[in-house]
Structure 1
Amino acid sequence: MTETKENVFLFVPNIIGFGRVILAIISFYYMPTHCVLACTCYITSALLDAIDGHAARYFNQSTKFGSMLDQLTDRAGTACLMMTLATFYPKYTFWLQISMAVDITCHWLYFHTVTLQGKTSHKFIDMSENPIMHVYYTNKTVLFFMCAGNEAFYAALYVMNFYTGPLVLGVGLWKLIAFLCMPVAVVKALISVIHGIVASMNLATIDLKERAALAEKQKN
């Protein structure tokens, strides 16, 4: 009996993921000049991130490739938005660079370390044991609020370069949204830093275990 070989690249959630990439690239192209078109493509790409997750579970097509594709698309989207904001607000380039560096490095380090460590050793640091981080990990409302607030901060900075928006208490709507969401973005960045620190410590644990195993092997 011939065994059917699956094509991971043609899994439904991964096809959606490719669509996200295309929409993101279109938004990058139009970001400097066409606010509405860029926002439409960028937001649609972000919303599809939730849809492909549901599709993966519905079709039983969760894959490491799809997970990595989502992570890279998210990080690339944020990075390119930051680059555009740096051209709009050159005075704040350094802080945008720091924000981009934290977002990329800490997420990559955490994601890669989790892949390496698995869930087999009690010696690894588990942030979900901390009461505050436990809420962050287990409460979908809190997680959505943090992610949405962070995105809203940078999106508002982007849009206010083109439009003031209606005045609210004498302040343009987009500036007000940016002001209100800034604390969320700061907290989100701090959580990313914590992720990076814990991932570094867990990665060091992996190094020590591998060195001990190698030393034991050399003895024998």
Structure 2
Amino acid sequence: MADKSKPTMSTIYLYVPNIIGYIRVLMNCVAFAICFSHKGLFSVLYFISFVCDGIDGWFARKLNQVSTFGAVLDMVTDRISTACLLVILSQIYRPSLVFLSLLALDIASHWFQMYSTFLTGKASHKDVKDSSSWLFRLYYGNRMFMAFCCVSCEVLYIILFYLAKSRTEDVFDVLLSSRKQSLALFLLEVLVLFGWAVKQTINIIQLKTAADACVLHDINRKQKA
């Protein structure tokens, strides 16, 4: 007779945080389907989906429903939704290479980090206690600071998408001209630009650190051969 206390595949798929993850995917699908026809609704749906990224983690810890599937679903949803928005921004703004470069950096840094975590046998990609970078340790060691940086990136991208009036905008002109539209909006942009800059710095540090870990793994493997 099966032990009901042990989780099965179906129960893990139906964990509360994982259900929230499915809702996030659904919201993103709807948001991107209407992004050009209903920019306001897109912005709301996209932001709510992003906020749910923190909510599902809270439920996972509170209900003891932490799962590898949920963690992967969470990260994949984050990466794909941000990637889609960056691709859209690359088609609206010039120079488009800015947004495509941000997309490449985001994917590369997280992929290297996840793979290096697997190689070193760590339980989580957020375990960076042995890093020599104080900023890197602060980012992954302080949930509020990490949340601020992540939210800043998404809010900045949403603002840029919402402010665009045509498909040939200059990103720097739009940011500077917003000061004339609203002082509050301009101050918000300055705040999120700071968080965005820190997040991109973290991505670069993460990419370099994870690449070093992969190379070190190769060296150790060859020395043992």
TM surpasses 0.5: yes
Aligned positions of 1:161-172 closer than 5 A: 161=164, 170-172=180-182
Of residues 5-14 and 187-196 in structure 1, the stretch that sits farther from structure 2 once superposed is: 5-14
2:209 counterpart of 1:205? no
2:12 counterpart of 1:3? no
Match of 1:158 in 2: 161
Residue by residue over 1:96-132, the C-alpha shift from the partner in whole angstroms, topping out at 9 and shown as x without a partner, is: 1000110111112112221331249xxxx85545333
Say if 1:157 and 1:175, in contact at 8 Å, map to a contact too: no
The 3 A distance-change label for structure 1 pair 10 and 141 is: closer
Say if 1:12 and 1:55, in contact at 8 Å, map to a contact too: yes
Out of 173, 178, 182, the position equivalent to 2:193 is 182
Residue by residue over 1:169-204, the C-alpha shift from the partner in whole angstroms, topping out at 9 and shown as x without a partner, is: 633455653354334323311210110110011112
Aligned positions of 1:56-205 closer than 5 A: 56-89=60-93, 91-119=94-122, 128-161=131-164, 170-172=180-182, 174=185, 177-205=188-216
The 3 A distance-change label for structure 1 pair 178 and 157 is: farther
CA–CA distance in structure 2, aligned partners of residues 15 and 148 of structure 1:
22
Structure whose CA Rg is larger: 1
Out of 23, 28, 36, the position equivalent to 2:27 is 23
Residue by residue over 1:34-93, the C-alpha shift from the partner in whole angstroms, topping out at 9 and shown as x without a partner, is: 11221121111111111111111122121111111111111111111111112221x121
CA–CA distance in structure 1, aligned partners of residues 111 and 63 of structure 2:
27
Say if 2:153 and 2:199, in contact at 8 Å, map to a contact too: yes
Cα RMSD, aligned residues only: 2.8
Where does the alignment leave 5 or more consecutive residues of structure 2 unmatched?
Answer: 166-173
Residue by residue over 1:130-164, the C-alpha shift from the partner in whole angstroms, topping out at 9 and shown as x without a partner, is: 333332232333222222222221111111125x9
Of residues 41-50 and 135-144 in structure 1, the stretch that sits farther from structure 2 once superposed is: 135-144
Out of 35, 39, 49, the position equivalent to 1:45 is 49
The 3 A distance-change label for structure 1 pair 151 and 208 is: same
Of residues 73-82 and 25-34 in structure 1, the stretch that sits farther from structure 2 once superposed is: 25-34
CA–CA distance in structure 1, aligned partners of residues 109 and 39 of structure 2:
29
For normalisation by structure 1, the TM-score amounts to 0.82
What percentage of residue pairs aligned between the two structures are identical?
A: 30
For normalisation by structure 2, the TM-score amounts to 0.80
Q: Tell me, what secondary structure is at the counterpart of 1:170?
A: helix
Identify the structure with bigger relative contact order (alpha carbons < 8 Å, sequence gap 6+): 2
Where does the alignment leave 5 or more consecutive residues of structure 1 unmatched?
Answer: 216-220
How many residue pairs get aligned? The number is 208
The 3 A distance-change label for structure 1 pair 175 and 11 is: same
